[in-house]
Amino acid sequence: MQTQVAIIGGGPSGLLLSQILHLRGIQSVIVEQKSRAYVLGRIRAGVLEQGLVDMLRAAGVGDRMDREGLPHEGFDIAHKGKRQRIDMAGLTGGKSVMVYGQTEVTLDLYDARDQMDGIIVDEAEDVTPHDLNTDNPYITYEKGGETHRIDCDFVAGCDGFHGVSRKAIPATILREYEKVYPFGWLGVLSETPPVSHELIYNHSDRGFALCSMRNDNLSRYYVQCAIQEEVSNWSDDRFWEELKSRLPADAARDLVMGPSIEKSIAPLRSFVAEPLSYGRLFLAGDAGHIVPPTGAKGLNLAASDIHYLSEAFIRFYEEGSDTGLKNYSETALKRIWKAMRFSWWMTTLLHKFPENEGFGDRIQDTELEYLFSSKAAQTALAENYVGLPY
């Protein structure tokens, strides 16, 4: 098979890149290791920045989001029984976010690719990029007992944190920056009305908790848990009791509990790989970086990577200029590190750290009290949460 851009990974990064390129007449093929059902079964992010919302609309996949998504102009932070609303729209000149699950974004993108006869190879095994440092790279994969080859101009590594693309960059060139947090998030999805019409980020002596949602009868809750926790240790009852114990009294009172329809634990890490390109390979999304989900930046950083990378490919094929491709890594990393900082800051502010005992706990309380009392501090939080400019 021959194409212009071979995309490894059929998650939101790969799908969005393929869709944008198609609309500009640039051929691509997506090679995904899992089944479509598996990819669509993953429950991930829930909050879309305006930049991603605009990209989805421009790519012709925003209709269902506009019908079913929930525009949110603010969220609460709870600390010592008090709830402080962060008025994002008021503090950022009208900017907001869209609450719409990543699962739905991925489904909308798959539907659009199918409608436009996009080529997506599912359940591909042993996907391997080759000759990345030449003008004729290619990828191979196994399927149906045969080895397949795709010759291409470029390879986009959109295969997530555990993918093969980043590993194709020589260790002598690749630099990795990582911080692993001493806890995880235990998440539950339940067909219950959300406890509040906006998100609530809760700091409590027992640990962090987040109240989110997908629609008016589908709630998403998280509690900070020990890194070695097992989902099997958490019955629904135990989860609801722990969540209630971390919420301010009015939210605990209003919480509607019900059976979980999904329950999973995600580890928290901050990670950046540099550079994001090597020869004709370009990394985007989780393949190049990971943020703790506290700042709702993971999916949204994937979007800005795809914005820069798709613009660079379009410039190459329409103008014959490789300037965008040469600058991609540096351009993308500037915004990545700002989101990395914000996600680290929000995680440090709201979670219970064992080593914080004493001084660290008091600093956290003071940081939150300052945030609750300062419009300047709330503005800095709001402008990062709605998304810094691309």
- Which positions lie near ligand FAS, rule CB under 6 A? 8-14, 31-34, 39, 44-46, 102, 124, 127, 158-160, 162-164, 266, 285-286, 293, 296-299, 302
CB 219 within 8 A of CB 210: no
The tokens describing 108, both together, are 């909308």
- Single residue of 6, 47, 88, 247 touching ligand PHB by CB under 6 A: 47
Which residue lies nearer to ligand PHB by CB, 220 or 335? 220
Tracing tokens 């989900």 back to the chain, one arrives at 293
Question: Could you list the active site residues?
Answer: 72, 201, 293, 297, 385
Q: Does 220 bind ligand PHB (CB under 6 A)?
A: yes
Contact characters 325-364, ligand PHB, x per CB under 6 A: ----------------------------------------
Task: Pick out residues in 138-197 that bind ligand PHB (CB under 6 A).
Answer: none
CA distance 8 to 156: 6
Q: Does 124 bind ligand PHB (CB under 6 A)?
A: no
302 binds, among ligand PHB, ligand FAS, none (CB under 5 to 8 A by kind): ligand FAS
Among the listed residues 197, 184, 166, the one whose alpha carbon sits nearest the alpha carbon of residue 230: 184
- Single residue of 46, 118, 184, 387 touching ligand PHB by CB under 6 A: 46
Which residue lies nearer to ligand FAS by CB, 113 or 357? 113
CA distance 72 to 48: 10
Among the listed residues 125, 131, 119, the one whose alpha carbon sits nearest the alpha carbon of residue 146: 125
Contact characters 286-305, ligand PHB, x per CB under 6 A: -------xx-x---------
Q: How many CA atoms lie within 13 A of 295 on its CB side?
A: 31
Name the CA radius of gyration of the chain, rounded. 21
CA distance 314 to 249: 53
Residues paired with 183 in a beta bridge: 226
238 binds, among ligand PHB, ligand FAS, none (CB under 5 to 8 A by kind): none
Cβ-based neighbour number of residue 15 at 10 Å: 29
Q: Which residues bind ligand PHB (CB under 6 A)?
A: 45-47, 199, 210, 212, 220, 293-294, 296
